[in-house]
Structure 1
């Protein structure tokens, strides 16, 4: 039995449907043209060429290439990233802060804006300088031939000088980040050209995850699995409430800049292996010798009476939900708007196809 909560596959399929169809529109020249013209309004050069650069897990990137430089524009994909406006605002502020306060190479932000300010209202966006690179730190150190779907393994034949060069640079990068200091925990906002404040909530990748109590499908495999996960969450909450998850020295400012996706794959290297750019489960799970169906019973006594009563109410609801797999999600505004647009298109297509089917039936 997996100790982690699975994704809601019903909502996941709907998210993929929305995201995949949203991406298809970038094949249309009538969508590409306004984007290209928009980019040329904010950046210009000689012999421009517009291309779709790549699609990632959460964004699509398009590039305007000039003779001696290039510019990227990036849009978050609806259906894959929650809080897209907030996500873009935070990233712009952090990139500009790092660019101003450190020597860490990051893309230069040319322009950014909300969905309302974007071409064709495609979504919040960032326009930034394109950084040429040869490989990533992950690929440079990974064992050749290691399958992409598996965890990387450090190549034992890596030249020691190359290894030292790469890791020295990474250490210097982490050292610079460690020197940043903020009076509060949260997200950065740029006040003016040279100052930033922490005045918004923190936003991490884990905030995209759905909690046990609110996830409609696939959050529990059985009644005991539900009890085990609920108890784990309550115990974790108790540790956090009692301030036992961190050292007392970490409770007060200053707080450091932190990113939950900072890893070798996001450190890009040039030909001579120098850094070209830095781009951007959780329960008390059983050990291999533990029986997960018994672990929750051993920990039940650690909860108070109210929490123990809440377990059975949650188990009853989850068992009912396992009987019918219903779509229930709370997407952001522009994801939901695009989903309704897809439904409207499907209805129109069905109406168009109906006369043809009737005509074929009469033949």
Structure 2
């Protein structure tokens, strides 16, 4: 499933306006004096390294970049990140920078949005270890000469971190409590997930559904996640490629819906619940067999993990594909997690369920409506692309383009 092109063009222009604003703050010498106001002794600071990937000699300042984070959730994302950093720093040995100051968008006098000021932690970037950055045309492909030993060292550290996080238990699924230094700004208890944000930010569909409460069971939470997939499929105008694709996508989600009760691990349905980063999971691990072995070895060393719960859950998740499937948006029947689940269930059983749902009147009604919506979307995209050409040529202002893109979207 592609991003919503109308949203993409809107964000490109929106991001450029923010970059222009932050460049101006730097060029007019507003940025460093502002950072200095947060230093206990108000010492002067200077920018070290490149502007976008550099740091200040007083520490590091991070902004959620406009165009990468949806405007409506920038404050919430920032607050949750501060809370997670503080919690991990207090309750684990994972090297986490100390947050010196932070604030919401309304607290930034430069108009650059929410911010976090933190200590800089020295370390070795994984890119320097895994990718050939010295090439004339560097790529994100792994170095050909990387050894299993190097991978094992990295995975062993990663496993140790996850085992420590796995020891932090919670009674419900949701956001962490609001940061202690801003107790008055209560955040919703429902989780701000990568999936829901991605569907909104890149698909243009708000699937949070106005929910503010957390979840008491995995069953309830997974049903909520599946509703998000149905919401994206129904309301993102280009969520299909044509009538046949629309039918296949709808039937795949109906099959998944029917399978959910049997796929949820009953031992963990009512908790305990753990702290996770839903943008970091098995899909990020290329050498999964090495990781599973290393994880088991690290579990054996760490007190409190004698039952090897985490490694057993990793194996179960890998076999079913369910966790990856429920954690990400933009799903379709040809994605890796869906194919993994398909294989886990078996071709015969999958087909049996598809045939069962194919006769439902709602299926063809959905196909008809989505085909009409797709045609309207393609017309709107043609108009917006023409106006983006005018922006690039300097014949239309960024602000005028944004107004048009909102109307067409």
Q: Name the TM-score, length of structure 2 as normaliser.
A: 0.61
1:55-74 residue pairs with structure 2 within 5 A? 55=52, 63-65=55-57, 70-74=58-62
Q: What SS does structure 2 have at the residue aligned with 1:189?
A: coil
More moved, 137-146 vs 20-29:
137-146
Q: What SS does structure 2 have at the residue aligned with 1:212?
A: helix
Match of 2:33 in 1: 37
Match of 1:307 in 2: 362
Counterpart pick for 1:206 among 190, 195, 201: 195
CA distance in 1, matches of 2:255, 2:270: 24
The question of whether the paired residues in 1 share the 8 Å contact of 2:12 and 2:67 is answered with yes
More moved, 296-305 vs 204-213:
296-305
Give CA deviations for 1:76-129 in whole Å, capped at 9, x if unaligned.
Answer: 122321211111111111111000110101111111111110122321111111
CA distance in 2, matches of 1:304, 1:87: 43
Q: What SS does structure 1 have at the residue aligned with 2:160?
A: helix
CA distance in 2, matches of 1:149, 1:300: 44
Give CA deviations for 1:291-330 in whole Å, capped at 9, x if unaligned.
Answer: xxxx9998253257353254234334334424512599xx
Match of 1:175 in 2: 163
CA distance in 2, matches of 1:38, 1:148: 36
The question of whether the paired residues in 2 share the 8 Å contact of 1:114 and 1:124 is answered with yes
CA distance in 1, matches of 2:351, 2:13: 37
CA distance in 2, matches of 1:316, 1:344: 30
The question of whether the paired residues in 2 share the 8 Å contact of 1:228 and 1:296 is answered with no
Q: What SS does structure 2 have at the residue aligned with 1:325?
A: helix
Q: What SS does structure 2 have at the residue aligned with 1:38?
A: helix
Counterpart pick for 1:237 among 257, 262, 267: 257
RMSD: 3.8
1:180-259 residue pairs with structure 2 within 5 A? 180-190=168-178, 192=180, 200-207=189-196, 208-209=198-199, 210=203, 211-216=232-237, 218-240=238-260, 243-259=261-277
Q: What SS does structure 1 have at the residue aligned with 2:118?
A: strand
CA distance in 1, matches of 2:20, 2:44: 27
Residue 204 (structure 1) shift? 2.0
The question of whether the paired residues in 1 share the 8 Å contact of 2:79 and 2:178 is answered with no
Match of 1:331 in 2: none
Match of 2:347 in 1: none
Counterpart pick for 1:282 among 304, 328, 331: 331
Counterpart pick for 1:343 among 384, 387, 399: 399
1:346-361 residue pairs with structure 2 within 5 A? none
How many aligned residue pairs are there? 293
Flag the structure with higher helix content. 2
The question of whether the paired residues in 2 share the 8 Å contact of 1:185 and 1:198 is answered with no
1:100-111 residue pairs with structure 2 within 5 A? 100-111=90-101
Q: Does residue 1:10 correspond to 2:43, yes or no?
A: no
Residue 54 (structure 1) shift? 5.1
The question of whether the paired residues in 2 share the 8 Å contact of 1:25 and 1:31 is answered with no
Give the direction of change, closer, same or farther, for the CA distance of 1:300–1:315 in structure 2 (3 Å limit).
farther
Q: Does residue 1:28 correspond to 2:24, yes or no?
A: yes
Match of 1:99 in 2: 89
1:78-97 residue pairs with structure 2 within 5 A? 78-82=66-70, 83-97=73-87
The question of whether the paired residues in 2 share the 8 Å contact of 1:186 and 1:201 is answered with yes
Give CA deviations for 1:62-85 in whole Å, capped at 9, x if unaligned.
Answer: 6321xxxx3111111223212111
Q: Name the TM-score, length of structure 1 as normaliser.
A: 0.68
The question of whether the paired residues in 2 share the 8 Å contact of 1:143 and 1:156 is answered with no
Give the direction of change, closer, same or farther, for the CA distance of 1:42–1:141 in structure 2 (3 Å limit).
same
Runs of 4+ in 1 over 6 A off after TM superposition: 143-147, 295-298, 344-347
Give the direction of change, closer, same or farther, for the CA distance of 1:236–1:145 in structure 2 (3 Å limit).
farther
Give the direction of change, closer, same or farther, for the CA distance of 1:199–1:318 in structure 2 (3 Å limit).
closer
Q: Does residue 1:124 correspond to 2:144, yes or no?
A: no
Gaps of 5+ in 1: 56-60, 266-280, 288-294, 329-340, 348-363
The question of whether the paired residues in 2 share the 8 Å contact of 1:187 and 1:202 is answered with yes
Residue 257 (structure 1) shift? 0.9
Give CA deviations for 1:131-188 in whole Å, capped at 9, x if unaligned.
Answer: 233x323531446778754443573446x4x555443322221211111111110110
Residue 222 (structure 1) shift? 1.2
